[in-house]
């Protein structure tokens, strides 16, 4: 059985060989190390609810206040969070010219805060809202005080600008993600369960187009079976180790 050191070195060599055509695909496991509960967790006040019962258009139509109270609770947690070593290492790989882009299922904005320039947010962003009537978008700098918030233009209800269960992915972001997956020579799959579709198709699409798959997760997932390298470790620890190996191989100062 290979050690983390050995796996990280193999991953580092694949990334270097890809010459900048590496793409990262991230899920909730990346932000968990920043203290952001995974979407499927049941924490505190919300242990009585399943996220799948709150993150739907039907739930919002039925009780917009309850849905917004849940999102405000999540925003309050995210507001206290900071990018962790995984976010920072990915941003550094981009600066080194080794990472083309990050495709994320996360809505917390921590990749951007870490300095990531090329970022595709497949499921939207929790800090944005859009009007249910006129489509106007609002960016929050802190959790909204008024619940549910209303559109500053027309007064209609705002809804979180995120993708809910039963809704399609934003067309532009999905097209961009598909193009990146098809063109990647290496796909880093980090902290995703691999069960939320259609986003979970990204690794398979990359693999079918010849990419090497490096999976980083604390446990095995449906993606593990197609991974060329599977690193069973927390995201921050694994990616920092890969970055360290890259710098050792290229003799770049750490």
Q: What is the pLDDT of residues 153-174, one digit of tens each?
A: 999 999 999 999 889 999 999 9
Q: What is the 3-state secondary structure (H, E, C) of 142-182?
A: CCCCCCCCECCCCCCEEEEEECCCCCCCCHHHHHHHHHHHH
- Using the predicted structure, report yes or no on whether residue 40 has a pLDDT greater than 70: no
Residue 39: its pLDDT value, please? 55
**How many CA atoms does the CB half-sphere of 39 hold within 13 Å?**
23
The percentage of the chain sitting over the pLDDT mark of 90, rounded to a whole number, equals: 85
Domains of the chain with bracketed CATH: 4-36+81-123+163-250 (3.40.50.1220)
Q: What is the pLDDT of residues 135-149, one digit of tens each?
A: 999 999 999 999 999
The DSSP output letter for 36 is P
In angstroms, the CA 130 to CA 80 distance is 24
Radius of gyration of the chain (CA): 19
- Using the predicted structure, report yes or no on whether residue 43 has a pLDDT greater than 50: no
Residues contacting residue 136 through CB under 8 Å, at least 6 positions apart: 130, 151, 152, 153, 154
Average pLDDT rounded to a whole number, residues 232-246: 97
Q: Which two tokens stand for residue 46?
A: 């919300």
Catalytic residue, from 87, 111, 123, 230: name it.
123
Residue 195: its pLDDT value, please? 84
Residue 38: its pLDDT value, please? 67
- Using the predicted structure, report yes or no on whether residue 51 has a pLDDT greater than 80: no
Catalytic site includes residue 136:
no
């Amino acid at each position: 059985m290979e050690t983390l050191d050995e796996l990280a070195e193999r991953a580092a060599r694949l990334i270097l060989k890809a010459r900048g055509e590496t793409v990262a695909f991230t899920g909730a496991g990346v932000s968990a190390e920043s203290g952001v509960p995974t979407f499927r967790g049941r924490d505190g006040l919300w242990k009585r609810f399943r996220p799948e019962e709150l993150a739907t258009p039907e739930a919002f139509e039925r009780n917009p206040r309850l849905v917004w109270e849940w999102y405000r609770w999540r925003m309050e947690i995210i507001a206290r969070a900071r990018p962790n070593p995984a976010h920072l290492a990915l941003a550094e790989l981009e600066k080194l010219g080794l990472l083309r882009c990050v495709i994320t299922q996360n809505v917390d904005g921590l990749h951007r805060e870490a300095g990531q320039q090329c970022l595709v947010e497949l499921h939207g962003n929790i800090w944005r809202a859009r009007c249910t009537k006129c489509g106007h978008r609002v960016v929050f700098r802190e959790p909204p005080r008024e619940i549910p918030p209303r559109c500053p233009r027309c007064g209609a209800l705002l809804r979180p600008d995120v993708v809910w269960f039963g809704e399609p992915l934003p067309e532009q972001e999905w097209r961009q993600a598909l193009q990146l997956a098809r063109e990647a020579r290496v796909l880093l799959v980090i902290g995703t369960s691999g069960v939320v579709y259609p986003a979970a198709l990204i690794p398979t699409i990359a693999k079918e187009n010849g990419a090497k798959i490096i999976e980083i997760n604390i446990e095995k997932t449906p993606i593990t079976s197609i991974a060329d390298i599977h690193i069973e470790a927390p995201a921050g620890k694994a990616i920092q180790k890969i970055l360290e190996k890259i710098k050792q191989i290229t003799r770049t100062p750490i």
